[in-house]
A and B are shown apart, each in its own frame.
Chain A
């Protein structure tokens, strides 16, 4: 028991006590029940035994009495048959009757010497006799004094109301010589006429009753006779006889009473009193045989037995006490532990439950909040998507402006350089190189515009790429970005070194300007990561069926979070300076080229972008391969464009290819010219004031179906040739002269 923690130990103590009490109650109950049953059993057994012994003894006595009575009755019958007695009766001669009877009863009457000495009370000797006439009246012996030894008082008792035709047994109290009244057994035997079988009288013989004494072992058995309302039991004191007689008198008045025994207290000792009608059906007064059996012996036995049982019970209880003590101790130990555990558990559980309850409430409120938030979020999402689209558009516009500005840098730079220093124009080689740079930049600027479309365009499965020299692209990108990494870096006081480590590579399949732009973006990104200067390394290498180009810087590097998110659109670490679209665009380009973009970065050590692109396969036709080769014969070409610069450029370019070129500014004018002259080919702008290029093409085809028509359009990316039925070749603006040459050749050959 933990004394420092009484509230917890109390239930355990009470449990132990309860267990102990419960076991004790069970044990006690079982013991009590067993004892009760055992004692009941024993008592019944003892009672049965006593009664059985008693009845056995009585039966033996009764048998003796029966035998005696039968004997006496037989004697009486033989007497009743005696001829002389009958004759005397017939003659109503009392003298003869009694004289003869004395003679006949010689062997029966008392006073005569016994044939063999018998115990007193077992005698068969008659004490008296009287004859009755047919009416039952006593025939007095008259002068024959002493005959039958019955006085007048006795005679008065012997009379019967009519003589029955069978033997009757009765009992009377007879006053003996010493004045003491003793019971007497009387047998009345009818005397029957031999011829008519008429009852002519009766003889009544009185015998001393058989004094019943118990057989060996039943010496306590006392027997007596209850007659004339009195109990005659010689073994008892007169007072006790009176008491027993009174007790019997109450009982024998109920003849139907089945119970033939009753317990009585005689002289302070319990006795069992049995009584039995001695003369059932007799015309004489009812007499009962009364037997008294002292119960002291059996009671003592019962007492002994009870003591035995009680001591056994005490032992059992003591044993039960010990066992239950042991059991309750054994059981309460784990229960004590259990109780402690369960108390702790309960506390925990209650805490947990309350916490759970709170949590649950929180959760449900949170859930509601979440629901609300979700709804809000959905609304917000719609809103944000809308915003994002707008923002993306703006961002893209600013990105495009940025890239466009980037592209304009060399154009403006070099063209200004040439204009500022006209002497340079004399240096043809240098001028040609500058012009090349300007052309490339302009080309890029044109492509930037196309990016609006390209950026979100899903990759076209059938899109085919031209074979591109990745090393050349890399060099171009380095050159293009030089103003940024060299000039701007220097102006901010830091030095950025760009190193190209270019391996020998087969061409990759790709969009040249897109690749250049992507590389440009990567270089700009690297420059941004080198605020304090550093080195940018650009590597190319072959990797199986792919080529790889790396842009590595030893700058600030990216955290893991940034690294994982850097390719997402609109994710920027540069604040207002960045659009968040640069790397996303690179990634989109890589995907479009069936390639991949890999980012390796370590914070403080630098970042490496690895762009992997598939190599170009041989069946991918490239415009470059046919360019220059396909130079068609001299043709008469009508050029239609409302823009004079474009018209001039086209005219110059086509003329340079040896074609004869006529121009028209508007559709109507062109159609007039076409009808007036003969043209092998018509090159027309699509969007023109008045008649559009489409209408013109339709007119011309109607007029001269074989004439091929090349349509120029600023919306080239959004159009398909099939949607413009009268056009043979579609060329998107800005016009690449090589593409134009190819288109002329294609259109003419197709004709």
Chain B
């Protein structure tokens, strides 16, 4: 269900700004850091902290464009559920102003909180059938670390971005950004809480750019 939400959201996000006709695609491959643990086959991943650095495991990157990009005009809603005593997804990228709901899909209590300066909140304990679904609006760009007060191992990251042009790479590092209007941007690849790679990119109309990191 949340996949549907995510996909529909993503779909809307990707195709709403279109209309200028000359939209470009940037695709490529990000060199990902080595996996910390065994490769998770079902594509589920978690956020781990190593040396004070939080990163997805298995590694993946969030690739996004910064520059003169349109702000989010209509509030959108994203979801980060708790299922099987884990955040799903454990890494979420949202545009500033997005409301993220934290539905409890487990049979137990969860208490989502964050001490991150980007967004400090504490949802308190809530049951699975808590209505309305506890949510937060992330109105400031930055990285937010989420914890569950009850389940110490649960951790999630929400990367709050200014831009609507962003995508999550596969675990192979491959990414594809579409519907990008022509312009000059900074292409960034977020790898973990401390590492973000970037490069300048000039996108021309209808251009299909092939850009790899590094």
Q: How many residues of A contact B (CB 8 A)?
A: 18
Q: Mark A77-104, 1 if CB is under 8 A from B, else 0.
A: 0000101101110111100100000000
* Complex CA–CA separation, A198 to B55 (angstroms): 14
* Complex CA–CA separation, A314 to B52 (angstroms): 83
Q: Mark B109-121, 1 if CB is under 8 A from A, else 0.
A: 0000111110000
Q: Evaluate contact between A196 and B153: CB separation under 8 angstroms.
A: no
A194 interface residue per 8 A CB criterion: yes
B48 interface residue per 8 A CB criterion: yes
B54 interface residue per 8 A CB criterion: yes
A134 interface residue per 8 A CB criterion: yes
Q: Evaluate contact between A196 and B145: CB separation under 8 angstroms.
A: no
Q: Evaluate contact between B49 and A200: CB separation under 8 angstroms.
A: yes
Partner of A195 from the list B49, B113, B114, B149 (CB cut-off 8 Å) is B49
Partner of A134 from the list B36, B52, B145, B152 (CB cut-off 8 Å) is B52
CB-CB nearest in chain A for B152:
A83
Residues of chain B contacted by A134 (CB below 8 angstroms): 51-52
Q: Evaluate contact between B148 and A196: CB separation under 8 angstroms.
A: no
Q: Mark A186-219, 1 if CB is under 8 A from B, else 0.
A: 0000000111101010000000000000000000
Q: Evaluate contact between B116 and A84: CB separation under 8 angstroms.
A: no
Q: Evaluate contact between B149 and A84: CB separation under 8 angstroms.
A: yes
Q: A residues 363-395 with Cβ under 8 Å of B? A: none
Residues of chain B contacted by A195 (CB below 8 angstroms): 46, 48-49, 153, 155
Q: Evaluate contact between A87 and B147: CB separation under 8 angstroms.
A: yes
Contact (A198, B149) CB under 8 Å given A87-B113, A88-B115, A91-B117: no
Q: Most B CB atoms within 10 A — which of A84, A91, A198? A: A91
Residues of chain B contacted by A83 (CB below 8 angstroms): 147-152
Q: Evaluate contact between B50 and A198: CB separation under 8 angstroms.
A: yes
B interface, size bucket: 20 to 34
In the assembled complex, how far is the CB of residue A132 from the closest CB belonging to chain B, in whole angstroms?
13
Q: Evaluate contact between A84 and B51: CB separation under 8 angstroms.
A: no
Q: Evaluate contact between A87 and B48: CB separation under 8 angstroms.
A: no
Q: Most A CB atoms within 10 A — which of B147, B148, B150? A: B147
In the assembled complex, how far is the CB of residue A746 from the closest CB belonging to chain B, in whole angstroms?
175
* Complex CA–CA separation, A87 to B150 (angstroms): 12
Q: Most A CB atoms within 10 A — which of B48, B54, B148? A: B48
Contact (A90, B117) CB under 8 Å given A81-B152, A83-B148: no
Residues of chain B contacted by A88 (CB below 8 angstroms): 115
Q: Evaluate contact between A84 and B115: CB separation under 8 angstroms.
A: yes
CB-CB nearest in chain B for A88:
B115
* Complex CA–CA separation, A84 to B150 (angstroms): 10
* Complex CA–CA separation, A96 to B115 (angstroms): 7
* Complex CA–CA separation, A194 to B86 (angstroms): 14
Q: B residues 144-165 with Cβ under 8 Å of A? A: 145, 147-153, 155
Q: Most B CB atoms within 10 A — which of A90, A92, A200? A: A90
* Complex CA–CA separation, A84 to B154 (angstroms): 12
Contact (A91, B48) CB under 8 Å given A83-B147, A86-B152, A194-B153: no
Q: Evaluate contact between B117 and A93: CB separation under 8 angstroms.
A: yes
Q: Evaluate contact between B52 and A196: CB separation under 8 angstroms.
A: no
Q: Evaluate contact between B48 and A196: CB separation under 8 angstroms.
A: yes
In the assembled complex, how far is the CB of residue B127 from the closest CB belonging to chain A, in whole angstroms?
19
* Complex CA–CA separation, A86 to B153 (angstroms): 11
Residues of chain A contacted by B116 (CB below 8 angstroms): 91
CB-CB nearest in chain A for B49:
A193
Q: Mark B78-117, 1 if CB is under 8 A from A, else 0.
A: 0000000000000000000000000000000000011111
* Complex CA–CA separation, A198 to B54 (angstroms): 12
Contact (A84, B49) CB under 8 Å given A93-B115, A93-B117, A194-B152: no
Residues of chain A contacted by B48 (CB below 8 angstroms): 193, 195-196
CB-CB nearest in chain A for B116:
A91
In the assembled complex, how far is the CB of residue B196 from the closest CB belonging to chain A, in whole angstroms?
18
Residues of chain A contacted by B49 (CB below 8 angstroms): 90, 193, 195-196, 198, 200
In the assembled complex, how far is the CB of residue B125 from the closest CB belonging to chain A, in whole angstroms?
13
Q: Evaluate contact between A91 and B152: CB separation under 8 angstroms.
A: no
Q: Most A CB atoms within 10 A — which of B48, B52, B54, B148? A: B52
Contact (A196, B115) CB under 8 Å given A83-B149, A84-B147, A90-B54: no
* Complex CA–CA separation, A81 to B48 (angstroms): 16
Residues of chain B contacted by A193 (CB below 8 angstroms): 48-50
* Complex CA–CA separation, A86 to B117 (angstroms): 15
In the assembled complex, how far is the CB of residue B130 from the closest CB belonging to chain A, in whole angstroms?
20
Q: Evaluate contact between A200 and B52: CB separation under 8 angstroms.
A: yes
Residues of chain A contacted by B145 (CB below 8 angstroms): 87, 90-91
Q: A residues 569-618 with Cβ under 8 Å of B? A: none
Q: Evaluate contact between B147 and A196: CB separation under 8 angstroms.
A: no
* Complex CA–CA separation, A92 to B117 (angstroms): 10
Q: A residues 42-90 with Cβ under 8 Å of B? A: 81, 83-84, 86-88, 90
Residues of chain B contacted by A81 (CB below 8 angstroms): 152
Partner of A87 from the list B46, B50, B51, B115 (CB cut-off 8 Å) is B115
CB-CB nearest in chain A for B47:
A195
* Complex CA–CA separation, A200 to B113 (angstroms): 19
* Complex CA–CA separation, A84 to B122 (angstroms): 11
* Complex CA–CA separation, A283 to B116 (angstroms): 33
Residues of chain A contacted by B147 (CB below 8 angstroms): 83-84, 86-87
* Complex CA–CA separation, A582 to B56 (angstroms): 174
Q: Most B CB atoms within 10 A — which of A92, A195, A200? A: A195
Residues of chain A contacted by B113 (CB below 8 angstroms): 84, 87
* Complex CA–CA separation, A200 to B147 (angstroms): 16
In the assembled complex, how far is the CB of residue B70 from the closest CB belonging to chain A, in whole angstroms?
31
In the assembled complex, how far is the CB of residue A177 from the closest CB belonging to chain B, in whole angstroms?
32
* Complex CA–CA separation, A539 to B170 (angstroms): 188
Q: Evaluate contact between B152 and A196: CB separation under 8 angstroms.
A: no
CB-CB nearest in chain B for A91:
B115
CB-CB nearest in chain B for A200:
B52
* Complex CA–CA separation, A92 to B52 (angstroms): 9
Q: B residues 23-50 with Cβ under 8 Å of A? A: 36, 46, 48-50
* Complex CA–CA separation, A291 to B148 (angstroms): 48
* Complex CA–CA separation, A459 to B107 (angstroms): 169
Residues of chain A contacted by B115 (CB below 8 angstroms): 84, 87-88, 90-91, 93, 96
Give the 8 A-B residue pairs with the shortest CB-CB distance, closest first.
A83-B152, A91-B115, A96-B115, A87-B147, A194-B153, A195-B48, A93-B115, A88-B115
- Listed by A's residue number, 17 A-B pairs whose Cβ atoms lie within 8 Å are A84-B147, A84-B149, A87-B114, A90-B52, A90-B115, A90-B145, A91-B117, A91-B145, A93-B117, A96-B115, A134-B52, A194-B152, A194-B153, A195-B49, A196-B48, A196-B49, A198-B50
Q: 19 extra interchain contacts, Cβ-Cβ under 8 A, other than A195-B46, A195-B155, A198-B50?
A: A81-B152, A83-B147, A83-B150, A83-B151, A84-B113, A87-B113, A88-B115, A90-B49, A91-B145, A96-B115, A193-B49, A193-B50, A194-B152, A195-B49, A196-B48, A196-B49, A196-B50, A198-B49, A198-B51
